[in-house]
A and B are shown apart, each in its own frame.
Chain A
Amino acid sequence: MSRILADIKGFGRQYLRSKVGAFFTFAFPILLILLFGAIYSASGNQKVSLPVQNLDGSSFSVAYLNELNNTTLVDIRMIPADADITNYINDNSLSLALQIPVNFGSKIADGLGSNYSGPVLVTIYGDKSQSTFGTAVAAVEAASVSFNYNLSRTLPLVAPGVQGLKEGYKFLDYFLPGVVGITVMTNSLFSMSSICAEYRQRGFFKLLATTKLRKHEWLISKFVFFSIILILSLLTTFAVASAAFGTHSSITVLSLVMIPAGAFLFVSLGMLLGVAIKDPESGVAVANAIGFPMMFLSGSFFPLDMMPDFLQVVAKALPLTYFNNGLRDTMVYGNTGGAIINLLIVVVIGFIFFFLASRLMSWKER
């Protein structure tokens, strides 16, 4: 234990004195949050994924969904009709959903006859602060207008209603966990892969092998060090986001547990890459080749459901996706169950990488 502490202290001093280390730990996430905070204050109009619960099932509701699909603004995905929509939204960390009510078809039929008693409300569940919300509302309004015109020409048979989710939350609340995810990945993965290459090239591994420090102790000390500085980084980034943009997402106990889990995963992956990399320059290149696609494809910058289907499949193979999802589940949606599942996935992948890295890494000459 004392050797691990000595290594944390010695390595930590070196890391924090290197300008690159200090930049990526503290300045990088703050820059990202300030930059994207400013950019995302404007809304976009991309095609958004819209989960729909059809409680009716009549030909009228199917026709309405066709109209919604024809807007080309949304990508419809169905929610099981027997699910409680608020629980479903929470359990699946959704930020947007549409519900077509029971008896939708019969009320439309009544309206077309002589018993018109006002429009049937289809309910949009969503967060008004999100850029995707405006797109969804526009799609539902356009579908309603078209549906009404096609059936009655004059009567407003269907109209959208809005049920707010996470009122007061901003896009940045959803973005913040992504920034933390990127910070955890870049610090742990990029640092460890190039540190391993540098240690091998400059003979530091040989030097360490002459001491009593064992390989697993060195691995553990890196994991502990990165966990500590990344928790500090999370707290700093959170404080800046909160002060500059008034974000409402919260730091939970689970989010503080997610950070060491992420550090464990990406430190282990960095070491695993470091086993094969011979020099620091190659370390940076390989880490970038793996890290950058992961950064963009794992939902750090924008929601996964805005990506094409095949890229969503790719995203599911990336460990950062589960880390980001876990953080969002606990910090934004309050979905503890979902966060724990993502946490377990991160830990399991981390153990696989750690096992492989500790088996394959050698400080000695073979």
Chain B
Amino acid sequence: MLGPNGAGKTTTVEILEGLRTPTSGTAMIFGVDVTKDYSTLRDRVGILPQSFEPFDNLKPTEAVQYWAGLYDIKMTKSQVNSLLERVDLTERKSVLSRNLSGGEKRKLGIALSLINEPELLFLDEPTTGLDPKARRDLWRLIEEIRKKGTTVFLTTHYLEEAEKLADDVAIMHKGKIVARGSPRDLIARHGKMTVIVLSGAGSDALREIRRRGIEATEDNGDVLVPVKDPTEMRVVFQKISGIELHAKDIYTRRQSLEDVFLNLVGAKMDEGDLKP
């Protein structure tokens, strides 16, 4: 579930997780109405809430044992170690949680959410606030969980994250799902397949291009011209060849969810905030 801050992602997920009471409507998981009998789902669902923080004064091994106890699960020492190894916390398993890095804390959170070996795992913005390396580490972990057959329901405001991890993306804006499908489908339906990038061409070039009836936008001094197919690309190149451009570089790139989002919402998303 992809959307900017305030779109309603966490509210939706918390309703599905049984953590928030909906004002109206129904929400079902595995055919069970979550507002009526969530207790039957606890064995089948794992949850990593938004902005997860572990208990400061517990070591990862102790936190896992504690959490297992709260699920009525008895874990042997080797099972605890195995789970921590799975999330790559073996070397940090005996460090108090308050001394773990942000990425390690999230990994511990994922370990706790996997204790009951869930069929469905909710990860609410698991990589928000992490540095790029920690984010990539978590992406690897999430992919590994998915490959083992667990359905992962992930909310994010990172377009790259959704594009990289998701089989099925729902874009949420102002409390409504405005588009849904695989990243490839969404790009095909709501975006152009390719963009011609006139790097550093600037606003003068943008004006000249638009004067020739070509749809274009500017992003940080780059002029972007979306095209559907090679035929349209040839036409565009012919039209702009007469313009005196001061571009540093001219290249093409495939469109991404970022472009889809821009087309659907009419604004760009930067760290979750909408920017015109």
Contacts and interface: CB of A to CB of B under 8 A. Distances in A.
Partners in one complex: yes
Interface of A: 2-3, 5-7, 9-10, 13-15, 17-18, 202-204, 206-213, 363-366
Contact of A14 (B39, B49, B56, B70): B56
Given A7-B70, A206-B49, A210-B49, A14 B19 contact: no
B42 interface: yes
Interface string B47-85: 101111101111000110111111110000000000000
Chain A interface mostly: helix
Interface residues of B, number: 30
A6 B63 CA distance: 11
B88 interface: no
A110 B137 CA distance: 104
Contacts of A7: 66, 69-70
B258 interface: no
B200 interface: no
Given A10-B66, A203-B52, 9 more contacts: A10-B58, A10-B63, A18-B57, A207-B49, A208-B70, A209-B18, A209-B19, A210-B17, A212-B72
A156 to B, nearest CB: 70
A203 B105 CA distance: 14
B62 A10 contact: yes
Contacts, number: 79
Contacts of B20: 364-365
The 8 closest A-B pairs by CB, nearest first: A6-B69, A10-B66, A211-B70, A17-B57, A14-B57, A210-B47, A365-B20, A213-B70
Interface of B: 14, 17-21, 39, 42, 47, 49-53, 55-58, 62-63, 65-72, 96, 113
Contacts of A365: 14, 19-21
B69 A203 contact: no
B55 A14 contact: yes
Contacts of B52: 203, 207
Nearest to A218: B70
Nearest to B115: A211
A203 B125 CA distance: 14
Contact of B70 (A203, A206, A212, A363): A212
Contacts of A18: 57
Determine which residue in B50, B63, B68, B72 has the highest number of CB atoms from chain A within 10 A of its CB, and name it: B72
A366 B42 contact: no
Nearest to A205: B19
B69 A5 contact: yes
Contacts of A210: 17-19, 42, 47, 49, 113
